[in-house]
Amino acid sequence: MERGGAEKAAEMEWPAYLNEYEKLVIRMNNPRVVIDNAVCPTATLVKVDSARKHGILLEAVQVLTDLNLSVKKAYISSDGRWFMDVFHVTDQFGRKLADDSVISYLEQSLDTEDHGLHRSCAEEGLTTLELTGADRPGLLSEVFAVLADLGCGVVEAKVWTHNGRIACLVSVKDELSGSPIDADARRIHHIESRLRHVLKCDHGVCGARTAVSSMAVAQTDRRLHQMMFADRDYERTPPSPPASTRPSVSIQNWVERGYSVVTVQCRDRPKLLFDIVCTLTDMEYVVFHGTIDTDGDLAHQEFYVRHKDGSPVSSEAERQRVIQCLQAAIERRSSEGIRLELCIEDKPGLLSEVTRTFRENSLLVTRAEVSTKGDMASNVFYVTDAAGRPADPKAIDAVRLRIGPDCLTVKEEQRPQFRRKAAAPDDQGGGGAVGIGLFYLGNLFRRNLYNLGLIKSCS
C-alpha cells in the first residue's frame, strides 16, 4: 500500500522551464509513505521517508495523533539530509488498522509537505480566545458565565490545568448572529477586560493573560503546550506526587558524537509521543535518532538530540530545564479525576450552567474538551474534589441528577491494550537511566535492518 511522492510527481504536468535535475529534487523532497498490515501481527506499520527539515517529525506524529492512533513502537532516523520514521500503530482499542478510509486519509495526510490539514477557527467563522492564569475552584464556571453574559456562544474549548495554573482555548461566535466577533475591536476589548478580572486571584493578577489568537489554531494541543510553557508551569512547586507515578526523565551527553541522549520512562497513554516531541521541537531541539517501545502499560522513549544550532545540552541548568519541561508536558494531559461525558442538546449558557453545577457540588474541573456540532453539544470533563482528591461518588450522583443522568455519564478512559513482553533470558530487570542510552544505540543498527525488511522480527 505505497503512495509515494514519485508517483504524485509523475502525475503532475511539469512547467516547461524546469530541467530534469529540478524535477528530481522535487520528487525526492516529497514524502514517501508505506502502510503495511502484514509485517507485524499486532500493529500496522507506517513508514515515512522525506527530506529532513526542522519539525517534520512533529508533523508526522501530529497526523497519527489527530487520528487517535497509538504508537506501540517506533524507530526514528534523520542523520544527513534524509528523514525516516517507522511507526507501529494501533487504533484506540489496540487493534491493527482495518478501516480503508482511515488508511487512505493517513496516506494522503503524510504524503504531502503541507501537514496542516486542519481548518483554522478563522476559516470556520469563529473567534479564538486564549486564557492563562492561576487555577482555583469555580474559575471555569466564572469564565463561561462571563462569556454567556456577553452573548458569546462557545463552539469549541479545551482546558488544561497543571501545577496550579490553567490554560484555555475557547472558540466563540456571536450567540445571535453566529458571526465572528473579532472584527468588533471595542467588544473584544470589553470581553478581554471582563475575563482578565475573573482570572485575577486574591493578591492581584498573578500572571493572568487573555488574548485573541492571531494565529490559525490548527493544532490546539500544541498551542496549549506553548501557552503553559510560556506561563512557566514547569517551575511551580505544588505538593509532589508519589515518585512511582512521576515520569522518569534523564539526559546524558554522548560527547564523541555530539548528541544529548534524552530518555523517558513513564506510564503509556494516548498522545504521549506527541507531547514529548512537541516540547522538544518548541524548545528548538532536533531529534536525529530515536526509539520508542512499550511493554504493557510502560513506555520507554529515547531520543538523540541536538539544539537547533547544532550543540548538545551544554550546562547543568539547561539539562534540568529540559527535564522539568518534559515532565510537565507529560503530566499536563494526565487524566486526573473522574471522566464525565455530556451529550445534550445545545442551548445558550449551557456550559455556564453545567460548570456552575460542578462548583456547587464542590467539584474541580482539571481538564475539559468542549465540542458543538449542529444542535448537539458533546463535552468531556475530568473532575476531582476541590482539594484535588478523588471526587465523592455522592457529589457525582448529585450532579448527574441535576443535569440529567441520561445526558451526563461516567466513563472509563479508553486505552489501547498492550501485552507485556516476556523477559529475555539475559534481562535482569535492573539498571537505571545511566547506560540505557548506549544500549539502545547499539539496537539502532538491528532496528535499521528490520526497517529495511532484512529481518522480520517484530519483538
**pLDDT tens readout for residues 421-430:** 655 444 433 3
Can you give the pLDDT at residue 356? 96
Contact 222, 152 (CB under 8 A): no
56 — pLDDT class (breaks 50, 70, 90): confident
**How confident is the model at residue 218, as a pLDDT?**
56
Collect all residues with Cβ–Cβ distance below 8 Å to 355 and sequence separation of at least 6: 140, 141, 144, 365
pLDDT in tens, 441-452: 545 545 544 544
Calculate mean pLDDT across residues 385-405: 94
Q: Determine the pLDDT at residue 312.
A: 96
Q: Which three cell numbers stand for residue 214?
A: 492571531
CB within 8 A of 437, min separation 6: which ones? 252, 254, 261, 263, 302, 304
pLDDT at 152: 94
Q: Residues 168-226: pLDDT tens digits? A: 999 999 988 888 887 788 999 999 999 999 998 655 555 677 787 644 455 899 999 99
- Residue 21 is predicted with a pLDDT of 53
3-state helix/strand/coil string of the chain = CEECHHHHHHHCCCCCCCCHHHHHHHHHHCCEEEEECCCCCCCEEEEEEEECCCCHHHHHHHHHHHCCCEEEEEEEECCCCEEEEEEEEECCCCCCCCCHHHHHHHHHHHCCCCCCCCCCCCCCCCEEEEEEEECCCCHHHHHHHHHHHCCEEEEEEEEEEECCEEEEEEEEEECCCCCCCCCCHHHHHHHHHHHHHHHCECCECCCCEEEECCCCCCCHHHHHHHHHHHCCHHHCCCCCCCHHHCCEEEEEEECCCCEEEEEEEEECCCCHHHHHHHHHHHCCEEEEEEEEEEECCEEEEEEEEEECCCCCCCCHHHHHHHHHHHHHHHHHCCCCCEEEEEEEECCCCHHHHHHHHHHHCCEEEEEEEEEEECCEEEEEEEEEECCCCCCCHHHHHHHHHHHCCCCEEEECCCCCCCCCCCCCCCCCCCCCCCCHHHHHHHHHHHHHHHHCCCCCCCC
Is residue 76 scored above 80 in pLDDT? yes
Task: Report pLDDT for 238.
Answer: 57
Q: Which domains does the chain have, with CATH numbers?
A: 2-110 (3.30.70.260), 127-236+335-411 (3.30.70.260), 243-334+422-451 (3.30.70.260)
* 416 has pLDDT over 60: no
| Range from 104-108, 122-126, 260-264, 336-340 that averages highest in pLDDT | 260-264
> Which of 43-47, 198-202, 232-236, 344-348 has the weakest average pLDDT?
198-202
Mean of pLDDT values over 311-338: 93
Please name which of 282, 281, 298 lies closest in space to residue 290, comparing C-alpha atoms. Answer: 281
Rounded to an integer, what distance in angstroms lies between the CA atom of residue 249 and that of residue 262?
Answer: 7
pLDDT value for 428: 39
At 53 the pLDDT is: 79
Q: Identify the residue with better confidence: 119 or 33.
A: 33
Mean pLDDT of 257-275: 95
Q: Are 402 and 357 within 8 A, CB to CB? A: yes
The mean pLDDT value for 93-119 works out to: 77
pLDDT of residue 341: 97
C-alpha cell at 243: 515518585
Q: Tens digits of per-residue pLDDT, 293-323?
A: 999 889 999 999 999 999 999 999 999 999 9
Report the pLDDT value the prediction gives residue 417, as an integer from 0 to 100: 53
Is the confidence at residue 51, as pLDDT, over 60?
yes
Q: Is the pLDDT of residue 415 over 90?
A: no
Please give the model's pTM, rounded to 2 decimal places. 0.83
pLDDT at 122: 47
Mean pLDDT on 144-152: 95
